[in-house]
Amino acid sequence: MAASRLPAVRSILAGLTLLAASPAIAAEETVEQAICRMIEAAAAEQRLPPVFLTRLIWRESSFRPGATSGKGAQGIAQFMPGTAAERGLDDPYDPEAAIPASAHYLADLRDRFGNLGLAAAAYNGGSARLARWLAAGGALPAETEDYVAFVTGSAAEDWRPDRPAPPAFRTAPRDPRPERGPKAERPAPPGDCHTAVAAIRRERPSPIEGPYAPFGVQVAGSFSKARAVAGYRDVAARFERIVAGRAPVVIGTRAPGRGRRPFYRVRIPAATLAAARRLCTDLQRAGGACVVLRN
């Protein structure tokens, strides 16, 4: 009898380990590391500089997959619903889908308008508005001017195709054949996502550190994203009074010794440690399971 119970006991203990604060969890891939991994993979796929894509995604959402703007833009890459539908993005709040979709969209805009600066301007202000500006001149909205300067380090005006020399942040189009002449593309500055994020934080210090909030209340997890989401839905249904109105974040992170498969965690973001502890305590008192973690 004792031997027959052993596999079940081991399974239960393994499950509890995933919801327990321990040094092993601290050593796992952080949410920011997971987002940077996705950004760098998407950038490589679309031949974009990782720093360019990092700064653009940060400008859009500060790495918050659950962000929704006052204008209705959704997710970590801030897709408007219409644009998401046009690009075939079913869930803008899923960073594993939204980041590659954003990179693909930016690559298309770069190929259409000729460089990364104009791609960033179109991403922010719309392709039609940018096309009118290129054709007739005038001024772009101040928001777009600030956006391009933040993402590329150069003014939008400097990226116009009639300028004698393009800024140094330009990269080659997806066609691998090199360009010739004075407007040949220049290499992007060295750097990766993590160094870019560190630079942004030095430029613009914020009291809220971390991808979406400094703390998270983890309520579900699985190597299967679908099972992790289903687990959260069960929690939300059982503890509707406690969880209602709180937007969760689902993201896959890798851990040493668990191979390359990401483990999907569902966390409810919290701005402070005290707020996270209160929420987790409320869930536990009601019969739920949770753990407070720093993102």
User: What pLDDT digit, counting tens, does each position of 98-124 carry?
Assistant: 999 999 999 999 999 999 999 999 999
pTM over 0.75: no
Residue 103 neighbours by CB under 8 Å, 6+ apart: 39, 42, 43, 45, 46, 48, 53
Contact 30/253 with Cβ under 8 angstroms?
Answer: yes
User: In this structure, is the dihedral angle defined by the CA atoms of residues 160, 165, 171 and 174, taken in order, positive or negative?
Assistant: positive
Specify whether the backbone of 240 is left (phi greater than 0), alpha (psi in -120 to 50) or beta. Answer: alpha
Q: Which pair of tokens denotes residue 138?
A: 């005038």
More confidently predicted of 37 and 173:
37
Of residues 154 and 93, more confidence is placed in 93
pLDDT at 75: 94
Q: Which of 178, 48, 191, 176 has the alpha carbon at shortest distance from 123? A: 48
- Please tell me which residue, 231 or 256, carries the higher pLDDT value: 231
CA–CA separation, 105 vs 88, rounded Å? Answer: 11
- d(CA 147, CA 29) in angstroms, rounded, equals 30
Model pLDDT, residue 169: 61
Collect all residues with Cβ–Cβ distance below 8 Å to 18 and sequence separation of at least 6.
Answer: 221, 263
pLDDT of residue 256: 63
> Which part of the chain is CATH 1.10.530.10?
31-203
The architecture of the domain spanning 31-203 is Orthogonal Bundle (1.10)
Contact 61, 55 (CB under 8 A): no
Give the whole-angstrom CA distance, residue 280 versus residue 292.
Answer: 7
Tallying the residues shown for the chain, one arrives at 295
Which pLDDT value is given to residue 99?
98
Residues 6 or more apart whose Cβ sits within 8 Å of residue 162: none
Contact present, 229 and 250 (Cβ < 8 Å): yes
The Cα–Cα gap between 295 and 293 comes to 6
Predicted confidence at residue 288, as pLDDT, reads 93
Cα atoms found within 13 Å of the Cα of residue 47, Cβ hemisphere only: 15
Where does 2-29+213-294 sit in CATH, by number? Answer: 3.30.70.1070
Highest mean pLDDT among 99-113, 144-158, 214-228: 99-113
- Give me the pLDDT at residue 215, please: 82
* SS3 at position 56: helix
Residue ranges of the alpha helices (H) in the chain? Answer: 2-18, 23-26, 31-46, 50-61, 81-86, 95-113, 116-125, 127-136, 142-152, 193-203, 225-238, 240-243, 273-285
pLDDT at residue number 212: 55
In the chain, list all ranges with CATH 3.30.70.1070: 2-29+213-294
